[in-house]
């Protein structure tokens, strides 16, 4: 059996507007690189990036510890992490490392886990970053494409996105709080009106239909969220302007990427993604924030190297 495995896991966007905690999509923009090696005793994290190195505080460490216990793996595991996905910007950074570990250990020990089992283990990592287990980002990172997470019992459905779908992810230069996801979960209303619920279900259903029918315009026009986005947008300087500018430049829809502060615009190959990106940059600039915009397509998922 091999001694080590290398996994490159993609960043992801969660929610896609109305699909809070349910929808995720892997993005071909940035990847975390994780090398898992059988070595010594226990779980050791090696990284020169600004992330916790204690296995109980790192999403990767939690996943490896849980899988070691579940599958009675007695080898020690060294987890070497090279981050590329910036932590805390709503691009599923913590999830990319967690997903890479679940996929990597599955390969290293030939565990033959199903997609849903992989996601279940990867989700354990999110406890370290968000305080609660949620599966939208890890499912996207581990499986690639667009994912729908059904819980209790966990069941993850993956749908291949349309080939012409294009995303512009604008990442503002901001100081994000250490427990950003936890903070931004705290501002969401505990109760919602029936009419808002209907609007979000309608849009969420249309998104799933859009992915099934490979209709990028339907997906983009449906990333409308009347519940979570209005409660969170004040945490993103310039959000309204970024959104308005992107729509005026031809985006089908714009929303917060995951818990933010990144903002994601949906378009297709018929439109000028560069023009949309520049419009988003100008929106952040009006709020005195610099930003970087990634023009990307959905990712097919992790790449495993021996
Ligand atoms: P993101 O959407 O980028 O995952 P979160 O706020 O949910 O943003 O997670 C980032 C937090 O998770 C940071 O406080 C970071 O220190 C912590 N964290 C723990 N392990 C990791 C990891 N392996 N990669 C990135 N962030 C991690």
Domain boundaries, the chain: 4-160+300-305, 165-296
Cα of 87 vs centre of ligand 1, distance in Å, is 5
Q: Is 50 exposed, middle or buried (0-12, 13-18, 19+ CB in 10 A)?
A: exposed
Plot region of 260 (φ>0 → left; ψ -120 to 50 → alpha; else → beta): left
Contact by Cβ (8 Å): 96, 107 = no
Task: Show the DSSP H helices in the chain as ranges.
Answer: 59-70, 93-108, 115-124, 126-130, 136-143, 180-186, 194-212, 216-221, 228-232, 239-248, 273-286
- 237-249: b or e for each residue (b if 16 or more CB lie within 10 Å)? bbbebbbebbeeb
pLDDT band at 176 (very low <50, low <70, confident <90, very high): confident
For the cut 90, the answer to whether the pLDDT of residue 245 exceeds it is yes
For the cut 80, the answer to whether the pLDDT of residue 306 exceeds it is no
303 C-beta neighbours (distance < 10 Å), count: 16
**165-172 sheet: strands from edge to edge:** 253-256, 263-268, 165-172, 291-296
Cα of 89 vs centre of ligand 1, distance in Å, is 9
Contact by Cβ (8 Å): 43, 65 = yes
Q: What pLDDT is attached to residue 102?
A: 98
Catalytic residue of the set 181, 217, 255, 267 = 181
Task: Show the DSSP H helices in 15-92 as ranges.
Answer: 59-70
Model pTM? 0.96
Mean pLDDT, the chain, rounded, equals 96
Mean pLDDT to the nearest integer, 204-230: 98
Q: What pLDDT is attached to residue 130?
A: 73
Mean pLDDT to the nearest integer, 9-33: 98
What value does the CA radius of gyration of the chain take, rounded to a whole number of Å?
Answer: 19
Q: What pLDDT is attached to residue 54?
A: 96
Cα of 142 vs centre of ligand 1, distance in Å, is 16
Of all protein residues, the one whose alpha carbon is nearest to atom 12 of ligand 1 is: 129
Q: What is the CATH number of domain 165-296?
A: 3.30.70.890
80 C-beta neighbours (distance < 10 Å), count: 17
Q: Do domains 4-160+300-305 and 165-296 have the same CATH topology?
A: no
- Residues of the chain above pLDDT 70, percent: 100
Contact by Cβ (8 Å): 252, 164 = no
Q: What pLDDT is attached to residue 173?
A: 96
Q: What pLDDT is attached to residue 282?
A: 98
Residue recorded with tokens 């209005």: 230
Q: What pLDDT is attached to residue 181?
A: 75
Contacts (Cβ under 8 Å, ≥6 apart) of 82: 32, 33, 34, 47, 49
CATH topology of domain 4-160+300-305: Ribosomal Protein S5; domain 2 (3.30.230)
SS3 235: helix
pLDDT band at 239 (very low <50, low <70, confident <90, very high): very high
Q: What pLDDT is attached to residue 126?
A: 86
For the cut 90, the answer to whether the pLDDT of residue 182 exceeds it is no
Mean pLDDT to the nearest integer, 9-14: 98
Find residue 33's DSSP bridge partners. Answer: 8, 82
Atom of ligand 1 nearest to the CA of 14: 2
Contact by Cβ (8 Å): 216, 165 = yes
Mean pLDDT to the nearest integer, 14-21: 97
SS3 122: helix
pLDDT band at 1 (very low <50, low <70, confident <90, very high): confident
Task: For 38-64, write each residue's pLDDT tens digit.
Answer: 999 999 999 999 999 999 999 999 999
For the cut 80, the answer to whether the pLDDT of residue 263 exceeds it is yes
Alpha-carbon distance values, 284 to 59, 90, 209, 246 (Å): 30, 16, 32, 11
SS3 12: strand
Atom of ligand 1 nearest to the CA of 89: 3
Task: For 84-133, write each residue's pLDDT tens digit.
Answer: 999 999 999 999 999 999 999 999 999 999 999 999 999 999 877 777 78
Of all protein residues, the one whose alpha carbon is nearest to atom 22 of ligand 1 is: 94
């Amino acid at each position: 059996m091999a001694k080590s495995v290398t996994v490159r896991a993609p960043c992801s966007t969660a929610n896609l507007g109305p699909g809070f905690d349910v929808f995720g999509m892997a993005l071909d923009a940035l990847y975390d690189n994780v090398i898992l090696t059988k070595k010594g005793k226990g779980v050791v994290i090696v990284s020169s990036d600004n992330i916790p190195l204690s296995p109980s505080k790192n999403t990767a460490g939690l996943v490896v510890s849980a899988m070691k216990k579940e599958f009675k793996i007695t080898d020690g595991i060294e987890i070497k992490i090279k981050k590329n996905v910036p932590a805390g910007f709503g691009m599923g950074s913590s999830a990319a490392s967690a997903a890479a570990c679940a996929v990597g250990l599955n390969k290293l020990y030939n565990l033959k886990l199903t997609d849903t089992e992989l996601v279940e283990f990867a989700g354990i990592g999110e406890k370290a970053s968000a305080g609660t287990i949620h599966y939208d980002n890890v499912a996207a990172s581990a499986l690639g494409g667009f994912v729908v997470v059904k819980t209790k019992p966990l069941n993850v459905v993956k749908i291949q996105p349309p080939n012409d779908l294009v995303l512009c992810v604008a990442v503002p230069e901001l100081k994000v709080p250490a427990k950003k996801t936890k903070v931004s979960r705290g501002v969401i209303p505990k109760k919602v009106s029936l009419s808002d619920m209907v609007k979000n279900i309608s849009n969420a259903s249309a998104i799933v239909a859009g992915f099934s029918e490979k209709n990028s315009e339907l997906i983009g026009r449906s990333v409308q969220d009347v519940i979570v986005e209005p409660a969170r947008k004040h945490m993103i300087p310039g959000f309204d302007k970024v959104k308005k500018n992107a729509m005026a430049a031809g985006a089908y829809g714009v929303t917060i990427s995951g818990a933010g502060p990144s903002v994601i615009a949906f378009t297709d190959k018929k439109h000028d993604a560069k023009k949309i990106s520049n419009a988003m940059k100008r929106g952040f600039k009006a709020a005195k924030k610099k930003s970087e915009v990634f023009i990307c397509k959905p990712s097919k998922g992790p790449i495993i190297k021996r």
